[in-house]
Amino acid sequence: MKIEQNPHKKWKWVWISFSLVFFIFISLTVISINRTLLEPGSDPVSARLAEWGRDHGLGPVVTELENLQYKFNKPKLGGKVEIKILPKPKIKLIGLQPDILTIANPPLPGEGVYQTAVKKGKEPIIQFAQLRPDLIHTSYLATVVWMSGIKTRFELRPGFSEPGRLERFKVTDLVSNREKNLLATFNSGFKINSSQGGFYLGSVVVKPLLKGSATLVTYQDGHSDIGIWGRDFKMSHDIVSARQNLKLLIDNGAISSNIQTAVQSNWGATLGSKDFVWRSGIGVTLEGDFVFVCGPALSAQSLADLLLHAGAFRAMQLDINPQWISYMWYVKSSGGVKRPIKAALFDRKADRYFEPSSRDFYAVYTRQ
């Protein structure tokens, strides 16, 4: 006589197995998140959790949360600038850049006027100006930073998570506040896997460089350039670093023809591909100098407009997430310690790169 198995006992073991698997999954997830939260550096909790989510297949969830954030913090239209624009300097220093042609007119007092941030003797080598980004977001200010191509040198620094494995590189994931020739630091581009390009530093190919991608290249002699890989640059022994990010915003003095028709594929990739968010970009002028632009309420179009107004002949977008954008210059303080000064009212701390950085970034030094 056949005895049938107790069905309740069968489902009891199924439930125990499921509970055990679920417990293991939750435990590993908590351990992984906790490890992320305890990583060094000054990244805010929200940025750490967003990075963890994207790295663990939760990109769509992170995007939806960013959409909600954007919905409740959407840039307002119109209005007046709430922060003071620096006044025009009384004494013009040798080499001072001409004022930037403003976009929103009439110009406010001091709008578009370059101020000296760092100088060598009486010659400015880093200057900055503030101006409204367009005709509708008139309560916001974008910042333009000009850097001498002859007097400055860029150094790409790796992040301990992006690209990680720091032992491969000869440089570290932070700068020291006692470095004599340190002038400034600024954020790099998207996460490498989202950049539509590659990453090369000190003979290490983290991800192969792609033909057609916008590329910031630095050479052994200290000079840098921006262009298209495969057209303007190809690999050679005198290239120290090459950081790619998307396509060129500006090429040969003209803004990209698809600046408004391919926002998500070419210029979005984060914050739900919204148009008007914190953005940053960098361009090179015909004279070989560099202009860095960052600010809130920027679209790909207004970022490109600002770069073009600042004299960029070729330009590329960098990061667009408010949690990653930053530009700081450094001034001498007591005891030979460098004090950082923020170029704009972005979220991150001014001294963020004095601690280990999870993302790659650029350090700017005096060019010998």
- Assigned token pair, 196: 């539509």
* CA angle at 105 for the pair 102 and 106, rounded to the nearest 5°: 110
273: left (phi over 0), alpha (psi -120 to 50) or beta: left
250 closest CA partner among 197, 303, 289: 303
pLDDT number for residue 275: 78
- Enclosing H/E stretch for 49: helix 45-55
Q: Which is higher by pLDDT, 362 or 13?
A: 362
The Cα 204–Cα 165 span in angstroms is 11
Mean of the pLDDT values across residues 31-48? 61
pLDDT number for residue 87: 62
pLDDT(273) > 50: no
234 closest CA partner among 209, 258, 253: 209
Q: Is 11 helix (H, G, I), strand (E, B) or coil?
A: helix
Beta bridge partners of 146: 127, 291
DSSP string, 86-146: PPPPSSPPTTPPPPPPPSSSSPPTTTT--EEEEEETTEEEEEEEEE--SSS-TT--EEEEE
Distances (CA, A) of 306 to 20, 268, 311, 359: 56, 18, 9, 25
Contact 143, 129 (CB under 8 A): yes
Mean pLDDT of all residues in the chain? Answer: 84
Instruction: Give tens-digit pLDDT for 119-177.
Output: 988 889 999 999 999 999 999 999 999 999 999 999 999 999 999 999 999 999 999 99
- Enclosing H/E stretch for 45: helix 45-55
The Cα 17–Cα 183 span in angstroms is 59
Q: Which amino acid is at 132?
A: R
pLDDT number for residue 16: 64
Phi, psi of 129 (to 5 degrees): -145, 155
Query: Which of 214-223, 240-249, 273-282, 339-348 is least confident?
Result: 273-282
Query: Which of 35-39, 155-159, 228-232, 299-303 is least confident?
Result: 35-39
Mean of the pLDDT values across residues 19-43? 59
